[in-house]
């Protein structure tokens, strides 16, 4: 325990960008639940290197960090919010679903919406009862389908990635009807792939890749 506190103290003492990066890396490597609050704070420091390390640390802590992240979402700093959403996405805890939906649909920061779109594709639904799991997967799908109309290329790119990874969560276990949502997911990808008004060829290419992979998997 004192070890974690010492690492937190080192973060507090850091007075250069490089010092902060190194202290954060050390703290993140410990992956100790008690470091979550400090790691979340680092997300707001406008030091991208340190933020990357802090997100990695939060993801390594996993579920015990979720409450701390959720209660400290920064309403005023979209940079910090993007990193927090990215951490939630990486952890994949279903408690983050509402925040991710909200972020993709409404956040003014493209970097926040982008992280949310990716996260909506990778919630860890496997342990849940079939009905609940299916309901959550449908919510993710709906949010991502709506996200196809986002005005920023990078968000549409992330929506493609989210849809591709969500596909496995719509997989049939017989208990629920998965054919229709699966069709909806493929239609959304085809829409992005074929959109003549798409300004970013990379979005169309990524959609083509997702379609290729999913069609191979569904065959």
Partner 1 sequence: MAASTRSRLATPFMDAGFSDQSPLGAGDPISEEEALRRLRLTDDPSAQYYAAWWLGRNRSTHPDAVPLLQEALRQRRPRDLGAGVEENAVARNAARALGKLAPAALVAIEDLLATLEDEDHGLREAAARSLGELRAQAAVAPLVRRLATGPSVAGAQQPGTPRLVEPCEALLEALGDIGVATPEVLKVIEPFVQHERPLIRSAASRALLQLTGEERWGQLLVELLQHQQLQVRRAALMDLGGAGWRPALDPIARTLAENSLKLIALRGLVENAGPGSEPASDPTLDASTVAVMEAMDALL
| Contacting residues toward partner 1, per CB under 8 A | 21, 48-49, 52, 78-79, 86, 108-111, 114-115, 117-118, 152-154, 157-158, 161, 199-202, 205-206, 208-209, 212
* Minimum distance from residue 200 beta carbon to partner 1 (Å): 7
All residues at 6 or more sequence positions from 142 whose CB lies less than 8 Å from its CB, including other chains: none
Q: CA separation (Å) from 195 to 33, 133, 184?
A: 45, 31, 16
Q: CA separation (Å) from 212 to 186, 202, 209?
A: 11, 15, 5
Alpha-carbon distance 26 to 59, whole Å?
15
Q: CA separation (Å) from 28 to 3, 60, 209?
A: 12, 8, 34
- Quick check: 69 and 36 in contact, CB under 8 A? yes
* Minimum distance from residue 163 beta carbon to partner 1 (Å): 12
* Minimum distance from residue 114 beta carbon to partner 1 (Å): 6
Closest CB to partner 1 among residues 39, 134: 39
For residue 69, is it left (φ>0), alpha (ψ between -120 and 50) or beta?
A: alpha
* Minimum distance from residue 129 beta carbon to partner 1 (Å): 29
Closest CB to partner 1 among residues 128, 209: 209
* Minimum distance from residue 177 beta carbon to partner 1 (Å): 29
Alpha-carbon distance 97 to 168, whole Å?
17
Closest CB to partner 1 among residues 183, 212: 212
Closest CB to partner 1 among residues 78, 186: 78
Closest CB to partner 1 among residues 32, 112: 112
- Quick check: 88 and 100 in contact, CB under 8 A? yes
Count of alpha carbons within 13 angstroms of residue 58, beta-carbon side: 31
Closest CB to partner 1 among residues 172, 194: 194
* Minimum distance from residue 79 beta carbon to partner 1 (Å): 8
């Amino acid at each position: 325990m004192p070890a974690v506190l010492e690492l937190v103290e080192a973060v507090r003492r850091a007075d250069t960008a490089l010092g902060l990066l190194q202290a954060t890396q050390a703290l993140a490597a410990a992956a100790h639940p008690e470091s979550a609050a400090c790691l979340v704070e680092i997300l707001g420091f406008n030091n991208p290197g340190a933020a990357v390390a802090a997100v990695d640390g939060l993801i390594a802590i996993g579920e015990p960090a979720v409450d701390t992240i959720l209660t400290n979402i920064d309403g005023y700093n979209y940079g910090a919010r993007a990193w927090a959403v990215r951490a939630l996405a990486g952890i994949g805890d279903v408690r983050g679903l509402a925040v991710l939906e909200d972020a993709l649909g409404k956040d003014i920061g493209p970097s926040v919406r982008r992280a949310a779109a990716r996260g909506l594709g990778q919630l860890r639904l496997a342990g849940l009862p079939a009905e609940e799991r299916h309901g959550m997967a449908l919510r993710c799908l709906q949010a991502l389908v709506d996200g196809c109309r986002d005005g920023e290329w990078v968000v549409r790119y992330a929506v493609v990635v989210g849809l591709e990874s969500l596909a496995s969560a719509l997989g049939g276990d017989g208990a629920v009807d998965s054919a229709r949502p699966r069709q909806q997911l493929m239609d959304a990808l085809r829409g992005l792939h074929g959109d003549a008004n798409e300004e970013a060829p990379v979005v169309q290419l990524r959609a083509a890749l997702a379609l290729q992979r999913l069609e191979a998997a569904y065959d």
